[in-house]
Structure 1
Amino acid sequence: MVGMWRGSGDRLRSRRASRTSCGDRGLPVKPYTILHTIDSDGPGGAETVVLNLATRLNTSVFRSIVLVPPGSWLSSRLKEQGVPVLEVSWKVWWDLRGPWKMIDVVRKYKVDLIHSHLPAQNFYSCLVGAVTNTKTLAMYHGPVELEWSQNIKGRIRLWFVRRAADGVVVVCDLVKRLLVQLGFEKDRIALAYNGIDPFPYAAHGQPFLRRELGLPPEHRLVGMIANVRPSKGYDVFVQACAEVCKKHSDVTFLAVGDVNEEVAAPIKRMHEKLSLGNRFRFLGFRSDVSRILKELNVFVLASTSEGMPLAILEAMAAGTPVISTNCGGIPEVIDHERTGLLVSPSDHNALSEAISRLFADPEYSGKLGTQAQDKFYKEFTLDGMIERYEKLYLSYLRQR
């Protein structure tokens, strides 16, 4: 199938015309239909972005339909909010039954724009867009997705997306630079920073977490909000915990996120070897992250690869001091020494020293949290993110 479109990238883009009419003020007579596609289960950052887009776009201008894997976390959340959901299984990357179903969806619902997420769906959606003459935006959420594209399968996908997508969306400037190095046209890549709803983080509920954990009110808590995955650096977080606990007897470390048991197994063995006991606790996936963040003394992200992690935005919204590794798009969010502290990836000593530094200077720690919260409200709210995407969608939909 790929060979059919060799050398035809410009023609694929130029022959697609906007199929909608606009009123006197430039708004469509009927809403544009956006098909969001993703093939990961969640919960995670990319799935949350899809959820927010599908539920928060202006319904007088846009109608959202979402194509997701069957029985996924995202599917359940979308159905709860009344968003039309189409469930499709993707067996292997060369299985074309999924794309054929997507073609039927595009034609049946008269889709105006396909917004795809993650490498596999970017490839399939560009293929469907070419067959159905539908505008397509492909989205990359982090550099790890480009690392997945280094084998022959990944290179084929990336080559086709580069030639067939009408545009590409990225969540941080680092991913944009990497795509340019891989041959993508700089002018066709749009940067759209992630955003979250600040409302849950502004609420002031009663303290509960220390009581739930059986800890005294003055006990210090250091938490990482991240699914247990290879790139999240939980091994470094555990080692940093061991170092900090040697100096401080009144601190407990918390891991909050969905647990991949295969990835977690060596981390749990390390936990046992270091005899951390209840000083380090896996809380698993929690739906009350906003409340947990309000009670942490320090939020940590120890990742080795990131795009624009929503967890950091959540900590900023809560006013919780942030210590993070200096990777991916994180330096575009956290200004070192002003809105948080940045340390080198995979350096548990640097991480433990940064934590101890904030423990030793509560005034400075509080200042970091306040300044991060101010920056969040200026640059990273969900309303701001939705506005950016609405303008981006219209810029493509109105092209003739």
Structure 2
Amino acid sequence: MDTVKHLNKEKFQVLSSSNHTLDPATYDSSIFHHVKPTLIDRYFLLLLKIKYRYWQKKERFITAQNQQLLYFIAASRFIKKRGYKKVIVHVSPGLVQMVKLINPNCKVVFYHHGTSLHTKLSESQWQRLLKNTVAIFGVNQAAGDLANAHFKAKLPSKHYFKIANGVDLIAHPKNHQLYKESFKILFSGRICKEKGVLELIKAYKILIDKNYDVSLIIAGHVGTKRGLQAGGMYLATCKQYISEHNLEVSFTGFLSQSELIQFYANVNILVLPTDPKLSLEGMPLSILEAMAMGKPVIATNVGGIPEVIQDEDNGFLVYGIESYAKEIAEKIEKLYLDKDLEKSMVKNALNIYKENFTAKKMSETFLEALQEIGYVQK
């Protein structure tokens, strides 16, 4: 939505799956089209199931689930019916294949939002993605580099474009106070093993044991690729550790954007302790939001994070792979004990955000990439 707002909406339309829970007041219906499968789409799905066996669908479309395939068909036929010749597919390489199957003359850009191309695609799927796209856009350079290192087929020249994420400048609340007597640490995101929340809690204990005046806020709710039950068990493990060591940790649950801004405003730092063994971050919006509020960030050295956090400049990178709580604690301690360093990082975080990670900057980079591949005129 941020990108389209900065572009000519007469030239850019957005398709997504139909969702009856969406509030029409939250989107511009002249831009966003929510595709509902028709009887003809369902007939196409039946033909697809007759033509391809389960493993063949999984190989070609990266999924064999009827609901996903039905949306792929509905979107591809919508594109054909409207006569669109240039399409940008977000997230799903399987949709790229369906678009090309139904619209062979359509030019497709694949927009990847993570760092996992090399782990989610087979060599044949990767080669098919390269063949069927005029370009691949990614939120970081790491995804392209890792794909090139992993696959036999290399990215053609000028086929991969980095489009760094961006967020709108966040206005500081009126009651915002930059420095507090109590040093407040914030985690914002999904509570799950992949995000390494327990390592942060262990780091917090190390600081408490040193009698530092620090507090920890965990903002977010349970959410994991391994299912809600696994997420709930992980949260229970975190709370058991907290109880066993008599710690005080605030869990906020899910927060709206305005509520989250209040927390950003009243903390000293954001910590994103992603487990490098379980997750490769794309370019987390929580980091950009914190920087937009002038907050230093401590985060694991994975995925696109080192393309945002300049170590010892606007925050710290954590390099440990196993049991890295001690390293997190050491980085927090440096800021806690050195107010001049904190002030410097606050200034640098805001400057780096303004230069590189605003929504306007993201849209400009996106448009430049589209111009480079001839999708739009310069």
- Contact persistence 2:115–2:304 (CA under 8 A): no
Question: Any conservation in 2 of the 1:79–1:85 contact (CA below 8 Å)?
Answer: no
Query: Residue 338 of structure 1 contacts residue 371 of structure 1 at CA under 8 Å; is this kept in 2?
Result: yes
1:84 matches 2:61: no
The separation in 2 between residues aligned to 1:109 and 1:77, in whole angstroms, is 22
Mapped to 2, the partners of 1:77 and 1:386 lie a distance apart of 24
Residue 180 of structure 1: aligned partner: 148
State the Cα deviation string for residues 139-170 of structure 1 (Å, max 9, x = none).
22222353233xxxx55543321221121011
Q: Where does residue 192 of structure 1 map in the other structure?
A: 163
**Uncovered stretches (5+) of structure 2, i.e. residues with no partner:** 38-44, 46-56
Q: Partners of 1:167 and 1:126 in 2: how far apart?
A: 14
Moved over 4 A (4+): 75-79, 87-92
- Equivalent residue, structure 1, for 2:13: 64
Out of 27, 33, 52, the residue aligned to residue 2 of structure 2 is 52
Aligned to 2:185: 222
Q: Is the 8 A contact 2:85 2:107 kept in 1?
A: yes
Which residue of structure 2 aligns with residue 162 of structure 1? 130
Instruction: Give the Cα separation in 1 of the matches to 2:89 and 2:199.
Output: 33
Residue 333 of structure 1 is aligned with which of 308, 321, 338?
308
CA contact (8 A) 1:126 1:136 kept: no
Q: Distance in 2 between matches of 1:230 and 1:76?
A: 32
Distance, in Å, in 1 between the alignment partners of 2:100 and 2:320 is 39
1:147–1:277 distance in 2 versus 1, CA, 3 Å: farther
Q: SS of 1:397's equivalent? A: coil
Secondary structure class of the residue paired with 1:143: coil
Q: Could you tell me how far apart the structure 2 residues matched to 1:111 and 1:353 are?
A: 54
Q: Quick check: 1:385 aligned with 2:362?
A: yes
**SS of aligned partner of 2:13:** strand
Whichever residue aligns with residue 165 of structure 1, its letter is: T
Paired with 1:69 and 1:241, the residues of 2 have a C-alpha distance of 43
Instruction: Work out whether 1:244 is the aligned partner of 2:207.
Output: yes
Bigger drift between 352-361 and 217-226 goes to: 217-226
1:279 paired to 2:228: no
**1:175 Cα deviation (Å)?**
0.8
Q: TM-score, normalised by structure 1?
A: 0.74
Q: Is the 8 A contact 1:180 1:186 kept in 2?
A: no
The alignment covers a number of residue pairs equal to: 330
Q: What is the deviation of 1:185?
A: 1.6
Deviations 1:358-387 (A, max 9, x none): 111122112111112111111111111111
1:254 aligned counterpart, secondary structure? strand
Give CA-to-partner distance per residue, 1:40-92, whole Å, 9 cap, x none: xxxxxxxxxxx3234442325x23222136357xx558843444231569998
1:349 alignment partner, SS class = helix
The aligned residue for residue 343 of structure 2 is 366
Equivalent position SS for 1:67: strand
Q: Could you list the runs of 5+ residues in structure 1 that have no partner in the other structure?
A: 1-50, 209-216
Give, as a single letter, the amino acid of the residue that structure 2 aligns with 1:116. V
Are 1:131 and 2:107 matched, yes or no?
no
Q: Aligned partners of 2:194 and 2:162: how far apart in 1?
A: 23
TM-score by length of 2: 0.78
- Cα 1:106–1:345, aligned 2, differ >3 Å: closer, same or farther? farther
Letter in 2 for 1:334: I
Q: How does 1:88-103 map to 2 (within 5 A)?
A: 93-94=63-64, 95=66, 96-103=69-76
Looking at structure 2, the residues matched to 69 and 350 of structure 1 have their Cα atoms a distance apart, in angstroms, of: 45
Judge conservation of contact 2:242–2:249 (CA < 8 Å) in 1. no
Please state whether the residue corresponding to 2:100 is helix, strand or coil.
Answer: helix
Measure, in 2, the Cα distance between the counterparts of 1:351 and 1:140.
30
